[in-house]
Amino acid sequence: DAGVTQSPTHLIKTRGQQVTLRCSPKSGHDTVSWYQQALGQGPQFIFQYYEEEERQRGNFPDRFSGHQFPNYSSELNVNALLLGDSALYLCASSGTAGYTFGSGTRLTVV
């Protein structure tokens, strides 16, 4: 049973560029959440998608947007990248019980 799959594993982008990160949830899970984890910090909630709609959003600017597809997979898009967007981006899926996290995408903005 595959867990949560995130791609790519690592990514280097230049300031001002746009990036798309992808997440496939664990089989049987219909809800996907995204978190940003800066170095030495705990993860911060970005948003959660359920039934292809953004159900809840954290304190992140509109440069951060997302999408959920009918197969429950999800994308996180970040526009106009800033150096401060460098972080580990974690996807978590959930169903009726508990969260399963992916291994994350390490984004470096130079």
Partner 1 sequence: SQQGEEDPQALSIQEGENATMNCSYKTSINNLQWYRQNSGRGLVHLILIRSNEREKHSGRLRVTLDTSKKSSSLLITASRAADTASYFCATTQNSGGSNYKLTFGKGTLLTVNP
- State how far the Cα of 65 lies from the Cα of 4, in Å rounded to an integer: 20
The 10 Å Cβ neighbour count of residue 97 is 6
Min dist. Cβ of residue 102 to partner 1 (A): 5
- State how far the Cα of 79 lies from the Cα of 17, in Å rounded to an integer: 6
Among 21, 68, 104, 109, interactor with partner 1 by CB under 8 A = 104
Among 20, 65, 73, 100, interactor with partner 1 by CB under 8 A = 100
Min dist. Cβ of residue 91 to partner 1 (A): 9
Among 23, 24, 29, 31, interactor with partner 1 by CB under 8 A = 31
54 binds partner 1 (CB under 8 A): no
By DSSP bridging, strand 5-7 and strand 44-50 are unpaired
**Torsion (CA) 15, 52, 74, 1 in degrees, nearest 10:** 170
DSSP bridge pairs for 106: 10, 88
Among 58, 65, 73, 95, interactor with partner 1 by CB under 8 A = 58
Residues that bind partner 1 (CB under 8 A): 4, 31, 33, 35, 37, 39-45, 48, 55-56, 58-59, 88, 90, 92, 98-104, 106
